[in-house]
Structure formats: structure tokens, C-alpha cells
Amino acid sequence: MASRKICIPKGFSLIEIVIVTGLLVALASLGLMMGMSDYRAYSFRSSRDLVVNAFERARAQAVSNECFGTCAGGVPHGVHLTQSAGGYVQTAVIFQGATYDPTDAFNTSIEIANTSAHLQASSAGDVFFKPLSGDASASTSIMLSDGVASSTITVKEEGQIVWTN
């Protein structure tokens, strides 16, 4: 009697490889979409925090009665938000004095614009903080939005700066 060999196939068939590859591609695309939304949210919060930081720095300079250049005594410090033609916040400028002077060499400019979060402020205008007390010139609310997320930064008359996530 002749012995017969039993042939057992080794390896994977083409259909098995295609199915597994398809599942891996689907999982990778889901992970990429989730990662991109997290990145956009992080980028928006980072830009919002830069605006809040500008207000906090201006208030700290007013409270500590800092005077740059040839000013005498305490001067108010403030924040001026520069916007593009579309209303997008580009920079927050920390300045000293009763009015914003774009030619003042002591202005501190903080770049806000980045590639993934265009912040649109609903109200523009300068916010001043009085020397020593840090009180604001008026209560002001600024709504920032990038089309998906939004945040409101409020500067109260007593100088308190609050924001929403």
C-alpha cells in the first residue's frame, strides 16, 4: 500500500490578507481623526491662553507700577488686540499709557495667529488697568471662536480676569 501525503496549506490566503489590511486601515483612520480633533482643541486653548496671559501681564505691570522709558509716576497698562480684515485676532499688544501707540518701542507684542485656530473676537477695544490697584477701565467681554470651539474672556472692573473653556 502506497502512503499518501496529506497536503496542508501553509500561509494566508489573499482574502485573509485583504480583510486584515482593511481592518487596520479603518482603525488607523479613526485614530487619525480623533488625534486631529484633539490637536485642534489644544491649539485653540493654547491661543486663548496667550490672550489671557497678555491681560494678566498687563495687569501685573500696572499693579507693580512699572514704568518703561521716560514716563513719570504710575501709568496705566493695557492690551490692544490687533485683528485682520476678517476679524481674526493676530496679536495681543501690551502697552503703557492712557492710549495705545503702535510706534511705542516699549510695546510687547504676543503673536496669536497660528495655522489651525483662527480666533475671532466679537468685541475689540483696548483694556486698561489702573496703576497700583489693577482695576480695569471698564468691564469687557471678548468672545473667541475658531468655528468649532468658543471661549469668553471677561475682564471685570475690579481687574479680575476670568475665562470659559
- What is the full DSSP assignment across 32-47? HHHHHHHHHHHHHHHH
Please list the ranges in the chain whose pLDDT falls under 70. Answer: 1-2, 87, 113-124
- pLDDT at position 71 is 76
Is residue 89 a contact partner of residue 144, using CB atoms and an 8 Å limit? yes
- pLDDT at position 124 is 59
- pLDDT at position 116 is 47
- pLDDT at position 107 is 93
C-alpha cell at 17: 490578507
Is residue 121 a contact partner of residue 143, using CB atoms and an 8 Å limit? yes
- pLDDT at position 58 is 94
- pLDDT at position 115 is 46
d(CA 20, CA 14): 10
- pLDDT at position 89 is 78
- pLDDT at position 20 is 95
What is the model's pTM?
Answer: 0.76
- pLDDT at position 67 is 86
d(CA 137, CA 157): 7
